[in-house]
Amino acid sequence: MKKVLFALALVIVFALALVGTAAANGGPHGGYTATTDACAGCHRAHTAVGPNLLVETSTYDLCMSCHGSAGAGADTNVEDGFFLSTRSASTTGTANTADNAPLLAGGFAFYKTVAVTSSHNMTGAGNTNLAWGNGATNRGVQVAITDATFTCASCHDPHGSPNYRILKAAVNGAAVSVTQVDEAAKDYDTEQWGAGQSNICAACHGAYHKTAVGQGSTLDGTTYTHRIDMSYAYGANANPETVGFGGYFLPLAGGNVACQTCHLPHGSSAAMSGFANGGPTGSGSLPGNTTATDSALLRLDNRAVCEVCHQK
């Protein structure tokens, strides 16, 4: 108990220190000065308990010590998918993000208070480094990424980056550029996307990033795929960004369809039933068939993501 309290006190002291040193990237992530204290929040020189000289046994545990359900070092609780504006001393994002607002990336364990039906699994038995469509032509096939363990640091650089949300400048061996849009005053619950939002996903699922006009009717390898990164306007349909559909609004990247228009990067609690649960036979699985226990990170129930734009 004493040890826990001591650890908690350390986190609080460290978090308090952050108020004075808040950097554009947020929290202890980057913008370091020559006399920075930040390294000491995450690394030990001689008595580290984790590889990379970390103060926690793994990168995942380190991130969750501040960003998890029990974390006290950050307001963004990525485990439950909520912004808790008063739980840490950090003020990053509090002016623009409502207390208890669902986070833009979703949640790893819960999203909008419901247990997730799919996630980019960062822990336990479900954690794998096999990604669908890794490479230009492998759509529907799982191929290992360069990181032996798929973790938070596969996508984010804890030391800050020139990209939006400290997304790494190099992911899975590919250069990644995602424009920063709200670095001066963070907003963690309203879409703030700029150019290149699909690039982070394309780094590991390259075969899904197909952008040609008429892509849906153009054979690419052995299958067809939905076009990405085009304007969302389809035919004479109502503008989903201003009228919504069935009460839903799809987020768009500068008026364009990005991977995140349909998918949440961390985890989703969307419900899949009927044809969306195993396809016409009821027994299918990914690729192609979502199920009640695997919603493929889709942000809305069943295929609501299709109706928002196509309104059939």
Contacts to ligand HEC from residues 248-267, by CB under 6 A: 250, 257, 259-263, 265-266
Sign for the CA dihedral angle at 82, 86, 87, 91 comes to positive
**What is the biggest distance separating any 2 CA atoms in the chain, rounded to whole angstroms?**
65
Residues with Cβ within 8 Å of 1's Cβ and at least 6 positions away in sequence, in order, are: none
Q: Quick one: which of 23, 82, 90, 181 contacts ligand HEC (CB under 6 A)?
A: 90
Of the ranges 1-9, 35-43, 241-249, which one interacts with ligand HEC (CB under 6 A)?
35-43
| Cβ-based neighbours of 275, under 8 Å, separated by 6 or more | none
CA torsion sign for 178, 179, 182, 184 is: positive
Of positions 82, 111, 116, 156, contacts ligand HEC by CB under 6 A: 156
Contacts of 48 (CB under 8 A, 6+ apart): 54, 55
User: Which residue from 13, 99, 137, 226 is in contact with ligand HEC, where contact means CB under 6 A?
Assistant: 226
User: Which window, 1-9, 72-80, 241-249, contacts ligand HEC (CB under 6 A)?
Assistant: 72-80
Nearer to ligand HEC, 110 or 201 (CB): 201
299 sits near ligand HEC (criterion: CB under 6 A): no
Q: Which of 101, 105, 270, 300 binds ligand HEC (CB under 6 A)?
A: 105
Q: Does 181 bind ligand HEC (CB under 6 A)?
A: no
Residues 6+ apart with CB under 8 A from 272: 117, 290, 291, 292, 294, 295, 298, 301, 302
Q: Which of 97, 111, 209, 302 binds ligand HEC (CB under 6 A)?
A: 209
- One of 8, 10, 12, 32 touching ligand HEC (CB under 6 A): 32
User: Could you tell me the two tokens for 34?
Assistant: 């020559």
**Residue numbers 111-150 binding ligand HEC by CB under 6 A:** 118, 120-122, 128-133, 140, 145, 150
Binding to ligand HEC by residue 269, rule CB under 6 A?
no
CB of 279 to ligand HEC, least distance (A): 9
Closer of 2 and 237 to ligand HEC (Cβ)? 237
Instruction: Estimate to the nearest angstrom the gap between the alpha carbon of 180 and the chain centroid.
Output: 15
Note whether 234 binds ligand HEC by CB under 6 A: yes
Regarding 29 and contact with ligand HEC (CB under 6 A), the answer is yes
Number of residues that bind ligand HEC (CB under 6 A): 105
Binders of ligand HEC among 161-180, rule CB under 6 A?
A: 165-166, 171-172
Q: Cα–Cα distances in Å, from 165 out to 169, 179, 183?
A: 11, 9, 9
> Hunting for tokens 């020139």 — which residue is that?
162
Which of residues 122 and 277 has its CB atom nearest to ligand HEC in the complex? Answer: 122
The token pair at 159 is: 């030391």
Stretch that binds ligand HEC, among 1-9, 205-213, 241-249 (CB under 6 A): 205-213
Buried-exposed string 184-195: b where 16+ CB fall within 10 A, e elsewhere: eebbbbebbbeb
The encoded tokens of residue 249 equal 């609004």
